[in-house]
Chains A and B, each alone.
Chain A
């Protein structure tokens, strides 16, 4: 692969039952590109958690995935409420999700920690009242 491949998705925040669709699509496309199963899983799990977060907390947003020779870069951007305390949000088990979200199997306070765990780098750019952009990178060289 010499040219970068990019995918763009709008994540619908209105309908929880569709949450995760973009990540399923990305997983399929990465398979078609022939990336290693381990890289594909790390990218898709990290993106999936982020996508669910955008639906739960931010009424949706956009997801852009770029595949280069070296990395897969995932940018998740929303115009949600922002994260007031990123350090707190990164703690395993900390969650502001409501009970109705927990009943759906999420809101365990593992989303952001999982995203960090599965990626080689993660940057959170957030401003309360404006929105959040999360940029994650997974190296393709990783075996």
Chain B
């Protein structure tokens, strides 16, 4: 699924990473616990979260994730957006709640992130 399609499905506003809109993502993960993201997620995924702090960006960067969606209308700070831009990660925000956002992506065929072996 293209990042642009995720933006459309979630009615999200893109905050950075316009150049990555035609990049593919192969899986998704939704969590507010960054340690779980670090434990379970493989690369080239999208992270959906309601947590807002710089560690969200760094965690996604460590896992080679390519897109972060802040749900429930959460607003990342300009510093966070800049950090994401620097890490090559597209960031968007959606007013949908996490459950609903995940439902849209799952229904459209985006699978859960596989566990690390």
* Cα distance, A132 to B82, chains bound together (Å): 34
- A105-B62 in contact given A17-B54, A19-B55, A49-B38 (Cβ < 8 Å): no
B58 and A110 contact, CB distance less than 8 A? no
Q: Do A17 and B62 touch (CB < 8 A)?
A: no
Residue A61 at the B interface, CB < 8 A?
no
Identify the interface centre among A16, A44, A108: most chain B CB within 10 Å of its CB: A108
User: Do A108 and B59 touch (CB < 8 A)?
Assistant: no
Interface pair B62/A44, CB less than 8 Å apart: yes
Q: Are B55 and A114 in contact (CB under 8 A)?
A: no
Chain A proximity of B1: nearest CB distance (Å):
21
Binary interface encoding of chain B residues 21-34 relative to chain A, with 1 for a CB under 8 A from any of its CBs, else 0: 00000000000111
Chief secondary structure at chain B's binding surface = helix
* Contact A114 to B61, CB < 8 A, known contacts A52-B55, A105-B32: no
Q: Is A33 an interface residue (CB 8 A)?
A: no
Q: How large, as a class, is the contact surface on chain A?
A: 20 to 34
Asked if A126 CB lies within 8 Å of chain B CBs, one says no
A63 part of interface (Cβ distance < 8 Å): no
Which of A4-12, A20-28, A65-73, A80-88 interfaces with chain B?
Answer: A20-28
B38 A104 Cβ-Cβ under 8 A: no
In the bound complex, what is the Cα–Cα distance between A48 and B38 (angstroms)?
Answer: 9
Q: Is A45 an interface residue (CB 8 A)?
A: yes
Q: Which residues of B contact A (CB under 8 A)?
A: 32-36, 38-39, 43, 49, 51, 53-56, 58-59, 61-64, 87, 116
